[in-house]
Amino acid sequence: MSKTGQQGFDVLNGEIPRHLAIIMDGNGRWAQKRGLPRTLGHKQGVEAVREAVKAARDIGIEYLTLYSFSSENWNRPEAEITELFGLLRMFIRRDLADLHKNNVCVRIIGREKGVPEDILLLLDEAQNLTRDNTAQTLVIAFNYGSRDEITDAVKRIATDVSSGKLSVEDITDKTISNAMDTANIPDPDLLIRTSGEIRLSNFLLWQIAYSELVFLECLWPDFSKSDLEDAIKTYQGRIRKFGGLVMETGS
Q: Are 91 and 49 in contact (CB under 8 A)?
A: yes
User: What CA–CA distances, in Å, run from 145 to 71, 110, 139, 188, 244?
Assistant: 5, 7, 14, 16, 30
Distance between CA atoms of 148 and 155, rounded to whole angstroms? 11
Count each helix (H run) and each strand (E run) in the chain, helices first. 7, 6
Residue 213 falls inside a structural domain: yes
User: What CA–CA distances, in Å, run from 55 to 21, 38, 195, 226?
Assistant: 14, 25, 19, 9
Residue 7 falls inside a structural domain: no
CATH number at residue 197: 3.40.1180.10
- Residue 191, strand partner residues: 21, 213
- Residue 190, strand partner residues: 20, 212
- What pLDDT digit, counting tens, does each position of 49-83 carry? 999 999 999 999 999 999 998 988 888 888 889 88
Catalytic-labelled residue, pool 58, 73, 160, 202: 73
Confidence of residue 235 (pLDDT cuts 50, 70, 90): very high
Residue 55 falls inside a structural domain: yes
- Amino acid identity, position 8: G
Confidence of residue 244 (pLDDT cuts 50, 70, 90): low
Residue 209 falls inside a structural domain: yes
Nearest in space to 219 (alpha carbons), one of 38, 75, 83, 19: 38
Domain that holds residue 130: 19-145+187-235
- What pLDDT digit, counting tens, does each position of 173-208 carry? 999 999 999 999 999 999 999 999 999 999 999 999
Catalytic site residue 25? yes
Residue 115 falls inside a structural domain: yes
Residue 161 falls inside a structural domain: no
> How long a stretch of residues is the chain?
251
Residue 92 falls inside a structural domain: yes
Residue 84 falls inside a structural domain: yes
Catalytic site residue 133? no
Mean pLDDT of 230-235: 96
Confidence of residue 10 (pLDDT cuts 50, 70, 90): low
User: What CA–CA distances, in Å, run from 8 to 59, 68, 86, 223, 224?
Assistant: 8, 29, 36, 20, 16
CB-based contacts of 9, cutoff 8 Å, min separation 6: 58, 59, 229
Distance between CA atoms of 103 and 162, rounded to whole angstroms? 41
Mean pLDDT of 246-251: 48
Complete DSSP assignment for 64-99: EEEEEEEGGGGGS-HHHHHHHHHHHHHHHHHHHHHH
Distance between CA atoms of 224 and 222, rounded to whole angstroms? 6
DSSP 107: E
The beta strand positions in the chain, using DSSP E, are 19-23, 63-70, 104-109, 136-144, 190-193, 212-215
Q: How many domains does the chain have?
A: 1
